[in-house]
Structure 1
Amino acid sequence: MFRVILFLCLIFVLKNQAQISSEKKLGTWYMYNGTHQLSEKFALKTSFHIRYFEFISEYQQEIYRTGLTYSPSEKWSFTGGIVYSITDTSYKTNQPNLYEFRFYQDVNLKDKWGLFNVNHRVRLAQRFREQASQRKTTHRIRYGLFANYPINKKLKIYGFNEIFIKFATRVFGQNRTGLGFFHQFDKQLKLRVGYMHTKFRNTFSHRLQLGIILNTNHTKNKV
């Protein structure tokens, strides 16, 4: 059954790659994500991404994120935090940089579907954007379904789908679908390699995702 699901997912990705897109280049996201356990129920989230329209050229965006997570149980967690990003919108256009400050709130629910580890995430965001001295405040909600399957102790494959809904006249923002794998080096450090297809209202994009994930534990009860 697992092989059938993986095969269907690969067919879906290849089908999307074949569709016409205004961005025919394969862009790249270089990512750091960290979770730092502060106590039994609280953890600090940190994140830094550099994103390119093309593989190692044509800078697109840098984004910084931090947040505090509260986990009342093993299944539920809640995160509140802030984001700052700089986006170069001049790729094939002639527009100034977009600067954004954002508040966000997450609700996460962990689940288990057989051997699949599943996470449901709902994210609210309040976005304060500035471009060419013009300021704008927008709001949106995201729902993501994330699943991974352990191949062995060090290797997992993953897949996800996330939809973005705007509180605006045109509610659809984007839809992200991705596949890849995690490689666990040790208890703290993990490598992520994957592909993501994003559908916007009129365009598509293709991104390679390369990242490291760092998990640390600073609790007094650490063994």
Structure 2
Amino acid sequence: MNFILLGLTFACMTCKGILYRIVPGLILLLGWSFVAQAQSERVKDFNHNGWYMYFGDHKLTSRWGLHTELQWRRHNILKDPQQLLVRTGINYDLTPSAMFTLGYGYIETYPYGDFPAADTFPEHRIYQQLQLRNSISRVGLTHRYRLEQRWIKPAGAESSTYLNRARYMLKATLPLIGTSIEAGEPFLAAYDEIFIGFGHNIQRNIFDQNRAYAAMGYKISDAATLELGYLNQIVQKASGTVFEHNHTLQVSLFYNLDFRNDN
């Protein structure tokens, strides 16, 4: 096991520069090329949603940790159900600025919008994730690379459909007081995340979705952070012609506990 972890650490350190510089641009170019190809045949579906979310990365040892996550997503801001997402995972710190996660998620999606699903349907998801952190002057940067294996069972179907998806997110934070974000201080946050589907069961929606986000944040304590922001989400449905434009209120609580014996 130690040899495997050592190998992961070495691989991460040697490829980190490449990931920082090349992969984000390639992913973004690929995603937006599919958006451009679909411009002439788009059908737009505008929605107003609210996402109320909790995230936690909890230290168990100096390197190992537990990820916990709950997202309560509502259509019409709060009135109607949209999705329920529960996600968990095991974290491993490859270096002080690089973390690998292997996890599982359960998602339940409800009919919403002008082109709704036939009925509520479930999704089981396994994911692998690499998260890298660095900074440029006062701006903190997080690069998140995620692969997902998804089993979706549409309403009325006898079996699940297997799908693959790759995601890349770049998030930036800027302290409004001083040079770093400390407890009791506000900050600004923004991110963009692109989703690309691949594999045999992907039809016309290779570009899956894009999320652009801006928020005001407040670090409540060393363990807790709150963000209130706006998310602009563009989703290409499986047909390839219907594009959701979701204007979303996003409320996020980040609460990280430390269960190590030396604390």
| TM-score, normalised with respect to structure 2 | 0.73
Q: 2-side partners of 1:48 and 1:126: how far apart?
A: 19
Partners of 1:58 and 1:91 within 8 A in 2: no
Measure how far apart 1:91 and its partner are: 4.2
Q: Name 1:191's counterpart in structure 2.
A: 226
Q: Name 1:47's counterpart in structure 2.
A: 69
Which of the two has greater strand per residue?
1
Q: 1-side partners of 2:117 and 2:44: how far apart?
A: 20
Q: 1-side partners of 2:161 and 2:88: how far apart?
A: 22
Task: Return closer, same or farther for 1:203/1:91 CA change in 2, 3 Å cut-off.
Answer: closer
Structure 1: which amino acid aligns with 2:254? Answer: I
Which of the two has greater helix per residue?
2
Residue 178 in structure 1 maps to residue 213 in structure 2: yes
Q: Name 2:11's counterpart in structure 1.
A: none
Q: 1-side partners of 2:109 and 2:235: how far apart?
A: 17
Partners of 2:92 and 2:100 within 8 A in 1: yes
Measure how far apart 1:133 and its partner are: 3.9
Measure how far apart 1:199 and its partner are: 1.6
> What are the Cα deviations for residues 180-201 of structure 1, in whole angstroms up to 9, with x where unaligned?
0221111222211111001223
Residue 128 in structure 1 maps to residue 157 in structure 2: no
Q: Name 2:166's counterpart in structure 1.
A: 141
Once the two structures are aligned, what percentage of the paired residues are identical? Answer: 28
Residue 70 in structure 1 maps to residue 92 in structure 2: yes
Q: 2-side partners of 1:23 and 1:215: how far apart?
A: 35
Q: Name 1:219's counterpart in structure 2.
A: 260
Q: 2-side partners of 1:27 and 1:169: how far apart?
A: 27
Q: Name 1:88's counterpart in structure 2.
A: 110
Q: 2-side partners of 1:193 and 1:70: how far apart?
A: 28
Partners of 1:109 and 1:121 within 8 A in 2: yes
Corresponding residue SS for 1:132: coil
Measure how far apart 1:94 and its partner are: 6.3
Corresponding residue SS for 2:95: coil
1:96-115 aligned at under 5 Å gives the runs 96-115=119-138
Q: Which runs of 5+ in 1 are unaligned?
A: 1-19
> What are the Cα deviations for residues 13-52 of structure 1, in whole angstroms up to 9, with x where unaligned?
xxxxxxx95224x310011111111010011110001101
**Displaced runs of 4 or more, over 3 A:** 90-94
Structure 2: which amino acid aligns with 1:155? Answer: P
Q: Which runs of 5+ in 2 are unaligned?
A: 1-42, 237-242
Measure how far apart 1:211 and its partner are: 2.1
Partners of 1:90 and 1:96 within 8 A in 2: no
* Paired residues, number: 202
> What are the Cα deviations for residues 111-152 of structure 1, in whole angstroms up to 9, with x where unaligned?
111111101111000001112242211010001101101112
Q: 1-side partners of 2:72 and 2:87: how far apart?
A: 12
Q: Name 1:159's counterpart in structure 2.
A: 190
Corresponding residue SS for 1:23: strand
Structure 2: which amino acid aligns with 1:107? Answer: L
Q: Name 2:13's counterpart in structure 1.
A: none
Measure how far apart 1:63 and its partner are: 0.4
Q: How much is the aligned-residue C-alpha RMSD, in angstroms?
A: 1.6
Q: 2-side partners of 1:94 and 1:82: how far apart?
A: 24
Q: 2-side partners of 1:78 and 1:221: how far apart?
A: 23
Q: 1-side partners of 2:113 and 2:233: how far apart?
A: 17
Structure 1: which amino acid aligns with 2:104? Answer: I
Q: 2-side partners of 1:215 and 1:75: how far apart?
A: 16
